[in-house]
Amino acid sequence: MQFTYYGHATFAVIIQGKTILFDPFFTGNPSANGIDVDSIKADYIFITHGHGDHVADALPVAKKTGALVVAAPEIVNWLNKQGLEKLHPINHGGPVDFGFANVRAVNAIHSSGLPDGSYGANPLGFVFTSKEGNFYYAGDTSLTMDMQLLPYWTKLDFAVLPIGGNYTMDAADAAIASDFIQCNKVIGVHYNTFDLIKIDTHKATKLFADKGKTLLLPKPGTTINV
């Protein structure tokens, strides 16, 4: 699978020729500098929760691309009130068959108010299973025992985990999370965008290497094969 990182917690994965964009945050994203929002492609947009650093560009990118937006019902309703119609509400449980993949929305320990103060419901993580591979995007979350459920559902090829601390897990907790979810390949996100989530990336990488695992930290704007 191809993974393209846009900085912070914004990335895209291509599965069966479909581009799945996650938590679109380009405008005001210091690490997405130089990335042209108008060039962003998406067939699907998955949103984990309502915070501005995850929904900032959902509306313009969805309008421009015609992508189907998948998010909690309350976020879907919020987007619908702003004129968006290609929407799919999802909540904890599932799984939902989207054709290119089965997607399960899972627990994330966080909060989820929308930028204008609207209620954004419970934050979510997503587990994708597909013919081309399986992965977990945790969204913004602390370490939680619920992650131990994932191996009951799927064998993960990789996981996208927040490592910045302060608002989410730090790298040390993400390394424990990688044990909970039984996954050896982790892509770190949600770090170094702002002062409060500045981290030592060498230390973070070593935490995983010491467990015989890989922490990938692609540069914003780059694409890697996972």
Closer to Mn ion at the Cβ: 57 or 140?
Answer: 140
Q: Rounded to the nearest whole angstrom, what is the least distance from the CB of residue 52 to Ni ion in the complex?
A: 8
- The answer to whether the CB of 139 falls within 8 A of the CB of 167 is no
Closer to Mn ion at the Cβ: 43 or 140?
Answer: 140
Out of 53, 57, 157, 170, which residue is the one contacting Mn ion (CB under 5 A)? 53
CA atoms within a 13 Å half-sphere pointing along the CA-CB vector of 214: 10
Looking only at the bridges linking them, the beta strands covering 2-5 and 223-225 are antiparallel
Closer to Mn ion at the Cβ: 10 or 129?
Answer: 10
- Which residues, 6 or more positions from 152, have their beta carbon under 8 angstroms from its beta carbon? none
* Window of 31-39, 114-122, 135-143, 192-200 that interacts with Mn ion by CB under 5 A: 135-143
Q: Round to the nearest angstrom and report the end-to-end CA distance of the chain.
A: 5
Looking only at the bridges linking them, the beta strands covering 44-46 and 68-71 are parallel
140 contributes a contact to Mn ion by CB under 5 A: yes
Interface with Ni ion in residues 118-147 (CB under 5 A): 140
Cis, bond preceding 95 (omega within 30 deg of 0): yes
Closer to Ni ion at the Cβ: 57 or 140?
Answer: 140
Q: Rounded to the nearest whole angstrom, what is the least distance from the CB of residue 193 to Ni ion in the complex?
A: 12
- 200: which 2 tokens? 């030592």
- The answer to whether the CB of 7 falls within 8 A of the CB of 31 is yes
Q: Rounded to the nearest whole angstrom, what is the least distance from the CB of residue 77 to Ni ion in the complex?
A: 19
Out of 8, 51, 104, 190, which residue is the one contacting Ni ion (CB under 5 A)? 51
Q: For binding to Ni ion (CB under 5 A), which residues are involved?
A: 51, 140
